[in-house]
Amino acid sequence: MASARHLSTIAKPVVENTEPTTKDNTDSIDMLFDEIAILKKENEEMKTALQECKQLIIDLKTYAPTPIPQPPSPQPPSPPPQPPQNIIIQTAEPTVKKQTCNPVYHCKDLDEDEKLKSIQGVDTYFKISGDLQFEFDDLEEETDIRVINKNWVIKKLRTFVTKNKETIPFRYYKSSLYFKNEEGAWEREMPPINKGEKLSSGTYNHSLLVKKFIFIIRNRTIKHLDEKLGDNWRLRNFEDLYGLMENETFDRDCWRNAELVNQLQDLLI
């Protein structure tokens, strides 16, 4: 049998020595440094990745996205061809000048009228040495002088104006008389104002038309009678035919403007 000493020795558990050795400490330190190195490397890699992410974000903000090509939109169908249309040529109507009451504008119209360019000035046209002539086929004998009166004058002048309107330097427009002056321009005559003055007083103002036509018809009538009857016919008829003709027909004071103007103005429009 085993002795008690042996049993007590057997019963005691075996205790292992757990204190680290120097070798163990060295190995632990090496492992720790290895872990630190690995962490540093991983940290650098994370920094690099973070920097790349930042650069990618900057690039996305800086550069526009590449446009995606779109398929072409379908074109609408072409309209059917139009049938040929008839060409209408419109003829422009001639421009009609607007009439105006302003005498300045009417004078300008007369100045620009090509048909009136060749008309002489009023003094030149009615001068004694001019070519203006009347028809005196009713004055052949000395007794024919009796037909000469104011009505005879009006008839002669109306016939003359009707045949020679294109050359006469007078025109009427809206009851105003226009005449061509010696400078070649048209003027409006200021209407004479007569308030019932007596003709014998010498204050009656005659229109230029009355002055010119009475002057020239008298001159041409006497000239015609001189050629037909000789100079002595005046002396022979001084007290009656010639005297009446001069005093009651060819004396300008026998005439009022309206007597002659009213008979000629419609022919001079």
Q: State the residue range of the domain holding 121.
A: 103-192+202-267
Closest CA to 210 of 197, 230, 192: 192
Determine, yes or no, domain membership for 87: no
Determine, yes or no, domain membership for 69: no
Q: Please give the chain's pLDDT, 269 residues, in tens.
A: 444 544 444 444 544 455 666 766 776 777 777 778 787 877 787 888 788 778 778 777 776 556 666 767 777 777 777 776 666 666 655 555 555 668 888 899 999 999 999 999 999 999 999 999 999 999 999 889 999 999 999 999 999 999 999 999 999 998 899 999 999 999 999 988 787 666 666 678 999 999 999 999 999 999 999 999 888 888 888 788 888 899 999 999 999 999 999 999 999 99
Determine, yes or no, domain membership for 85: no
User: Which two three-digit tokens encode residue 10?
Assistant: 């057997």
Give the pLDDT of residue 36: 84
Determine, yes or no, domain membership for 178: yes
Is this model's pTM higher than 0.85 or not?
Answer: no
Determine, yes or no, domain membership for 138: yes
Determine, yes or no, domain membership for 211: yes
Q: Is 26 exposed, middle or buried (0-12, 13-18, 19+ CB in 10 A)?
A: exposed
Determine, yes or no, domain membership for 173: yes
Determine, yes or no, domain membership for 44: no
Task: Give the long-range contacts of residues 97-102, CB within 8 A, separation 24 or more.
Answer: 101/174
Q: What's the domain count of the chain?
A: 1
Give the pLDDT of residue 199: 64
